[in-house]
Structure 1
Amino acid sequence: MGRGVEMTGCGKFVRFLMFAINFIIWVSSIVILVLGIWTVADRPYLERLLGSEMYMTAAYILIGTGCVTFFVSFLGCFGALREVKCMLLTYFIVVLLLFIILLIGGILGYVFKDKARINMNHAMLNAMKEYKIDSDSPYTKAWDETQQAMKCCAIAHQEEWPTNNKEFSMSNLHVPKSCCKKDDTSGEMLDCQRNPTKENSYTEGCFSKAISFVENHALIIGVVGIAVAVITVLGLVLSIVLFKMID
């Protein structure tokens, strides 16, 4: 279908509003892309430690959604300016599908939230058992990076290291180097590993900090997602109104 006749009054207002909303959606898609890239770049070591690809998968979904929304919003802007009915109809269908997918994803994320916490705890426990002293294994690297970056130690408390890891239970060491506050190879570091205290080591568990980190990310993403969803609904309504106004 081609371009409709020239609009006046209410029709021009709807067309302008349609363009404005899609411009906001276009800007929002850039924000979603930035959030996705930020999630991938920030704390990537948590993926292995948490024993799930859910964290990084969510980030990739954000990036994919941002890319699709970027081009779809452009389609809506162009369709509104040029009054092209086929573009408006295509825009409506694609945006409706995106909205349904995001809605289902949000519901599933809320439903499985508690189950995810339990799985994360089990995954961290299994990763702790695989930790190797003075090794570059993936689990060792994940734990060391997490404990240093988040200033934490073990899952809930330091005593878990000799309890859940054979290497620590069979040695004079009670915690890894990454639990110590001073990152050096001096006698103080060795003393920290043998006799960790509040003064020379991190005593807060990593599980609560990891949960807080993931939930804070989820909150930011959720707020942006809800805002974009509300704007998207307005775009859907306006696209239908404008579609019917075009002869």
Structure 2
Amino acid sequence: MAGGECKSNDYGAAAYWDARYSSSSAGSPASGGGGEFFDWYQTYSALRPLLRACLPASSRVLMLGCGNSLLSEGMAKDGYEDIVNIDISSVVIEQMREKHKEIPQLTYMQMDVRDMSFFGDESFDCVLDKGTLDAMMCADDAPDGASKMLAEVARLLRPRGIYLLVTYGAPKERVPLLNQAGCSWSIALYIMPTPGYQLKMSKGAPQPTMEELALTEDGPPDYVLKDPDSHFIYVCHKLAVEEANCRDIDPEETANAN
């Protein structure tokens, strides 16, 4: 999904991902299959400063669409204590269970992100999403499936819990989707060059850089960085009921009532 473009594949289908992760010809970094382990988008080392700043190691974390990423492994080695990893592909879940059977902080479960009813309300402190919303926007049931996933994310998070989304989706595309009915967030937005661009510019090891962008009351900025290719990172804090109610009040109505 380079550049966030959708292809003809149904990225919301278990059969597609099972075949991809089973294929011996898919074991290259470009495809991330065939029993190989590969981080789409950004690595833990790149995301670590942000994660450490906003997420205590004691947090209960849910990793959406974990695939064969090593993000969870990196977090566990860095002290995070409880990470539940889910993916629609039973093939990759078995691969990751086997790889991480000696790391008790990591749990793996086959599950569809559009229906996570196995978990009770407010079960997690953080939901991490590295490309899964992008995949859902390329599913055959998009955008309905993506909306179902986001509603489930909001349900599963405790008040002030964090949904951390790494995506190709620019603010004009993602903020309205995030703020669908039933979802109330306080959103901070960051932008980070892709690892490929960093390598090209540094002529060697990438040097992760992250820039915070302003989200104004008038809505998301009409901002898309064309060069370098970039990922947008949304740190969404779930508002408590009273916070959401306060945000919905029209200041002019309050002034007139007084």
TM range (shorter): under 0.3
What is the TM-score when the length of structure 2 is the normalising length?
A: 0.22
What is the TM-score when the length of structure 1 is the normalising length?
A: 0.23
* Higher RCO, Cα 8 Å, sep 6+: 1
Which one has a larger percent strand, Structure 1 or Structure 2?
2
Q: Which has more radius of gyration?
A: 1
